[in-house]
Structure 1
């Protein structure tokens, strides 16, 4: 997983450059479409790396899980039960599973990691809509809007998963 996440931004960035040059040389719209697709995908990967780097540099997985922002209400947990989070959360990819391993970390440390992961994914949800601005110069608003919504929805699944898991972890701590 880590190898893929490190290679993907480079591949998509190179793809953006190559197809952008091909578009400039040929003026064929297909190359512009592919360049925009590669560029948007590269943005999403690079933006995720930058967000993770910033949060790791500032927080070092040491968030206060008792703060109000991280608290999960009973109604929120009911929503998660309706969404059947328990059934799909274990199928979601994890960048670094060792951070969530109770054999390596205390439950308090794991709760802190879930807070930082939640904040990162919440930030990514907001930043997922930045590419829509490119529609001003490149056109293709529908494509930018659709990809932004899909990317935000994808990261919301991780926010939900972190909040759901943290509530269960807090029960273990008590």
Structure 2
């Protein structure tokens, strides 16, 4: 099942489970239904918010990020870090919502670099939004549930930030070589 469909399905199922657990808690006042409602609510929050952020950024940016902006620059230490953690060995095993965006047969290296910038922004926003789930601990208590779900979700998104920056670090030299070749071939 494609990752986007999984996210939509998990969002829908967790929302239904949240509603059922809440209803059972209010009808019976049995504590386990409150725990289940909080658990399903945090799952719903983390999946649904990621869908909304991704859809919104896709509509706004349309894979046309400015790859020259300072935020997107790869720092010298990053290349060493990516090599040390072996990004090249595991990045292709991670899910991709829109694999067609990353196809070099359909897109230029510059277009792919723009996609990596947009995807990086989506995942960085998701890291920040993960912390928003902590606010659920105010009315419901159970801080450890909210903290652990926020931490896990934020760390998961950081994996994708690292992947996008790694991919861009490999695309940028290719883009520079293409630009140099084009400049040499101009009359």
Gaps of 5+ in 1: none
Distance in 2, Cα, partners of 1:80 & 1:91:
16
Question: Could you say what secondary structure the match of 1:94 adopts?
Answer: coil
Larger radius of gyration: 2
Name the counterpart of 2:107.
105
- Give the C-alpha shift of residue 3 in structure 1: 2.2
Please give the residue correspondences for 1:43-58 in structure 2 after superposition, counting only pairs within 5 Å. Answer: 43-58=45-60
1:30 aligns with 2:32: yes
1:14 aligns with 2:16: yes
Q: What is the RMSD of the two structures over their aligned residues, measured on CA atoms? A: 0.9
1:115 aligns with 2:112: no
Deviates more, 1:93-102 or 1:49-58: 49-58
Aligned residue among 3, 6, 31 for 1:4:
6
Name the counterpart of 1:171.
173
Distance in 1, Cα, partners of 2:6 & 2:144:
28
Distance in 2, Cα, partners of 1:17 & 1:55:
29
- Give the C-alpha shift of residue 26 in structure 1: 1.2
Aligned length, in residue pairs: 174
- Give the C-alpha shift of residue 49 in structure 1: 1.1
Question: Could you say what secondary structure the match of 2:43 adopts?
Answer: helix
Distance in 1, Cα, partners of 2:26 & 2:19:
11
Distance in 1, Cα, partners of 2:154 & 2:6:
20
Gaps of 5+ in 2: 177-187
Runs of 4+ residues deviating >2 angstroms: none
Distance in 2, Cα, partners of 1:141 & 1:6:
26
Distance in 2, Cα, partners of 1:22 & 1:68:
51
- Please report the TM-score for the alignment, with normalisation by the length of structure 2: 0.90
